[in-house]
Amino acid sequence: MMENTTPRKALQMVVIAAVALMFLLPLYWLTISSLRPEEDIFRYLNPFGLWTVVPNRITFDNIVNLWSGAFSRAIVNSLVVSFVTVIVGLAVCAPAAFALAVISFPGRGIIFSAMIVSFLIPFDAIAVPLYSIMRGLNLQDTYVGLILPGVGNGLAVFLLRQFFQSIPKDLREAAMVDGMGWFQIFWRIYLPLSKPALISAGLIMFIFQWQAYLWPLLIAPSNDMKVAAVALAQFSTAYNVSFGLIFAGAMFLSLIPMLIFVCFQQYFTGSVAATGSKE
Amino acid sequence: MSPGSRPWSGVQRSMSNWAKIRVATVFLLPAVLSVILLRLWPALLAIHTSLLAPRAISYSLENYIYIFTDPVFLNSVRVTLVFALIVNPLQVAIALGLAILMNNKLPMTGLWRSAVLLPVAIPQSVSAVIWAAAYRPDGLFNSLLQAVGIGPQRFVTSPDQALASIILVVSWIGVGYWMTMLMAGLQDIPKSLYEAATIDGANAWQRFRYVTLPQLRRPLTFVLVADTVANFLVFAPVSILTKGGPQGSTDLIMNQIYTNAFVNGDPGSAAAATVVLILLVLAIVLVQFRLMSDRSER
C-alpha cells in the first residue's frame, strides 16, 4: 500500500492540474488577446506555436479605447445596478428572514412556504410577462426597472433565515428582559452577528445582477441605460467588430466578479454548502 | 424546565398574537410585495395572456393548441429535451468526478479548484462572447485541433455540431458550481465509513459504489434538480452564439419564447410557452422535494 501512494498522488496532482488548465485556457486566451494589438489577435493562432500562448507585442490601447467609448457608460450602469441591488436587496431580505426565523407569529409556516414556492419560479421564466408589466408602469430604461428584479431574492431570504435561526435564543430573551423591542433586537443584535451570512447573501445578489442578460436586454435597450453585458454582446454581433475592444470588455466584465469572488470565496462556498447539503 | 423559569417565554406570551402579526408584517412587507410584484403577478399575467387567442375577448386554449401543433415550437421542445438529456447527466457526472478528484489535501488543489470555479463568476453572456471568438473558423479551437492533426470544424455554424458546442460552453460555465456543492457533500461523509469499508476489503470502485454514492444521495439529488432547472433556462449562450440556428438545431425553449414575443410579435404563443415552462420547472422542483423528504423520514 505505502509504496504506491507517492506516484499515485503525483499522478493525481498532474490530472488535477491538467483539468484545471483546460478550464483556464479560454480565460488565459481572453487575457492575452485583450493585451494584443488588434491585428495580432488571430494572427498567431495557426500554426500553434510559442507566439500563440505568449504575446510578442503588448498594448493597452484596447483598454484605453474601451474606456473612451460608449462602453464606459454601460460599465457604470452595471456597477450602479449591482451595488444598489445589494444594498436594497439586503434591506428587503434581511428583515423578512428575521421575521421568518425569530418572530413566532401565527401563519409563519404558510408565509414561508408560499414565499419559497413563489421564488422557485425562476426569474428568467417570467421575464417576458414581467417586462410587459414594467413597461406599463413606465419603468423601461430606468434604474428602478433594472434593479427591482434583483431585490427580492428567495435564496438570500432562505440563507439569512437559516443563519438567524442558529443565533442562540438566550440573546434575544435577555434583550427582551432588558426592554428591547423587535426592531432593536434585529438592528443591534442580529445584524451585527450575521456578517458572514449578509456577505453571502449580498454576493448572491451582486452576481445575479452582474450576470443578468435577458432582463436588461428587455427593460433597458437605450444606449444610455444599457448594461455592460448587453452592450458587449451587441458589440460582438455587430457587422464590423473590433476584437480588441471585445476582449478588453470581456476581460473587465470577468475581472470584477472574479476579484470579488477570490476575496470572498469562503462566504460563497459557505452559501453553496448551506443550500446544497444541509437544507 | 418549567415554563416559569424562562423569563422570555413569559414575555413572548404576554405579547398578543396581533402585536406579533403587526411587527412581522412590517418586517415582511417589502419581501412579500416583491414576491407578488416580481413572481406571482407576471406568472398570472402569463396565464391570462396565454388564454387569450389573437383578437379574442374570451378565454380559450387556442394558443396552447396552436403551439403544440406548430412545427417550430415542437422542434424547440425536442431540442430542449435532447439538450436536457445530454447536458444534465454530463454535467453532474463531470462535477462528481471533479469533486472526488479535488477532494484531497494535496498541495495546490485549492488553487486548481478555484480555477474550475472561476467561469461561474463570469456573466454567461461574456462567456458566450469569448467562446464565440474561440469557435471562429480562425479561432482558438480550430488552432488547437490543427495542432493535434484534426482539420478545421464548423462548430456553431454546423447543424450537427452547434448543439454540442452550446453544451460545451454551458458545461464550462456551470460544472465548477455543481462541483463545489458536491464537495460540501463529500466532506460530510464520515471518514469511519471508508475505514470500515477498507477493512472489509472493499476496493476503490466498491467504496465509491457502496459508500460515496449512497451517502451523497441528498446533495446529488439537489444538484441534478437545480442543474436541470438552470439548463431549461439557458438563453444568453444561444442568443449570442447561434440565435437558435442553424436550421433550428439549437432553438432551446427560452430562445423560442423570446423569438415569439419579440421577433414574431406573438405574445399569446410566447405566454403559453412560458406557462408550459413554469409548470415544467415547478414539477421538477416538487419532485425534488419529494425525493429529499423521503430520505429524511427514513
Q: Is B59 domain-assigned?
A: no
Query: Looking at chain A from residue 27 to 66, which residues have their Cβ under 8 Å from any Cβ of chain B?
Result: 27, 29-30, 33, 42, 45-48, 52
Cell of B3: 415554563
HEC profile for B120-155? HHCCHHHHHHHHHHHCCCCCHHHHHHHHCCCCCCCH
Name the one residue in this structure whose C-alpha cell is 479551437: B141
Q: Are residues B159 and B114 in the same domain?
A: yes
Q: Specify the fold of A64-276.
A: MetI-like fold (1.10.3720)
Assess whether pLDDT exceeds 60 at residue A154.
yes
Number of domains composing chain B: 2
Q: Which of B35, B255, B285 to mutate to test the interface with A (most CBs of A within 10 A)?
A: B35
Tens digit of each residue's pLDDT (9 = 90 or more) over A27-70:
888 888 888 887 777 777 777 777 777 778 878 878 888 888 77
Q: Specify the pLDDT at position B93.
A: 94
* φ/ψ (deg, to 5) at B52: -100, 110
Cell of B56: 379574442
Give the Å distances, CA to CA, from B216 to A174, A219, B85, B100, B185. Answer: 40, 41, 21, 11, 6
Q: Specify the pLDDT at position A158.
A: 87
Q: Specify the pLDDT at position A215.
A: 93
Output the furthest CA–CA distance in chain A (Å, rounded): 77
* Residues of chain A above pLDDT 90, percent: 20
Q: Are residues B40 and B90 in the same domain?
A: no
Q: Are residues B142 and B35 in the same domain?
A: no
What is the DSSP track for A106-170?
TTHHHHHHHHHHHHTS-GGGGHHHHHHHHHHTT-TTSHHHHHHHHH--HHHHHHHHHHHHHS-HH
Nearest Cα of chain A lies from the Cα of B273 at a distance, in angstroms, of 10
Q: Are residues B249 and B112 in the same domain?
A: yes
Q: Specify the pLDDT at position A121.
A: 81
Q: Are residues B46 and B178 in the same domain?
A: no
Q: Are residues B45 and B190 in the same domain?
A: no
Q: Is B115 domain-assigned?
A: yes
Give the range among A161-165, B37-41, B196-200, B285-289 with minimum mean pLDDT. B285-289
All residues of chain B having their beta carbon less than 8 Å from the beta carbon of residue A276 are: 181-182, 184-185, 219, 222-223
The winner for highest mean pLDDT among A110-119, B72-81, B214-223, B260-269 is: B72-81
Assess whether pLDDT exceeds 80 at residue A238.
no
- What's the rounded Cα separation, in Å, for the pair B67 and B61? 10
- What is the arithmetic mean of pLDDT over B12-26? 77
Tens digit of each residue's pLDDT (9 = 90 or more) over B230-281:
899 899 999 989 988 788 889 999 999 999 888 888 888 889 999 999 888 8
Contact B27 A99 (CB under 8 A): yes
B16 or B192, which is more confident? Answer: B192
Q: Specify the pLDDT at position B201.
A: 86
Q: Is B83 domain-assigned?
A: yes
Cell of B121: 463568476
B152 or B180, which is more confident? Answer: B180
Strand partners, B59: B52
Q: Are residues B211 and B265 in the same domain?
A: yes
- What's the rounded Cα separation, in Å, for the pair B166 and A134? 31
Q: A144 and chain B: CB distance < 8 Å anywhere?
A: no
Tens digit of each residue's pLDDT (9 = 90 or more) over B51-85:
988 777 888 888 898 888 889 999 999 999 999 99
Nearest Cα of chain B lies from the Cα of A180 at a distance, in angstroms, of 11
Nearest residue, CB atoms, B102 vs list A16, A115, A275: A16
* Residues of chain B above pLDDT 90, percent: 24
Assess whether pLDDT exceeds 90 at residue B184.
no
- What is the arithmetic mean of pLDDT over A63-88? 89
Assess whether pLDDT exceeds 50 at residue B41.
yes
- What is the arithmetic mean of pLDDT over B211-224? 88
Cell of B224: 441534478
Contact A122 B147 (CB under 8 A): no
Three-class SS state of B279: helix
Q: Are residues B42 and B99 in the same domain?
A: no
Domain boundaries defined on chain A:
2-59, 64-276
Assess whether pLDDT exceeds 60 at residue B40.
yes
The closest of B192, B187, B132, B176 to B157, measured between CA atoms, is B132
Assess whether pLDDT exceeds 90 at residue B172.
yes
Q: Are residues B27 and B165 in the same domain?
A: no
Q: Specify the pLDDT at position A272.
A: 57
Q: Is B160 domain-assigned?
A: yes
Assess whether pLDDT exceeds 80 at residue A213.
yes
Closest residue of chain B to A249, computed from CA coordinates: B126
Assess whether pLDDT exceeds 60 at residue B297.
no
C-beta separation of A118 from B32 below 8 A: no
Nearest residue, CB atoms, A276 vs list B98, B172, B219: B219
Closest residue of chain B to A172, computed from CA coordinates: B8
Contact A15 B147 (CB under 8 A): no
Contact A99 B184 (CB under 8 A): no
Contact A121 B278 (CB under 8 A): yes
- Kindly indicate the confidence band of residue A275, based on its pLDDT and cuts at 50, 70 and 90: low
Q: Specify the pLDDT at position B168.
A: 93
Tens digit of each residue's pLDDT (9 = 90 or more) over A161-192:
988 888 888 888 888 888 888 888 889 888 88
Q: Specify the pLDDT at position A4.
A: 59
- What is the arithmetic mean of pLDDT over B131-135? 88
- What is the arithmetic mean of pLDDT over A188-212? 88
- Kindly indicate the confidence band of residue A148, based on its pLDDT and cuts at 50, 70 and 90: very high
Q: Is B223 domain-assigned?
A: yes
- Kindly indicate the confidence band of residue B296, based on its pLDDT and cuts at 50, 70 and 90: very low
CATH number of the domain enclosing B264: 1.10.3720.10
Closest residue of chain A to B189, computed from CA coordinates: A277
Q: How many CB atoms lie within 10 A of CB B159?
A: 14
User: Model ipTM?
Assistant: 0.83
- Structural domain range at position B131: 72-297
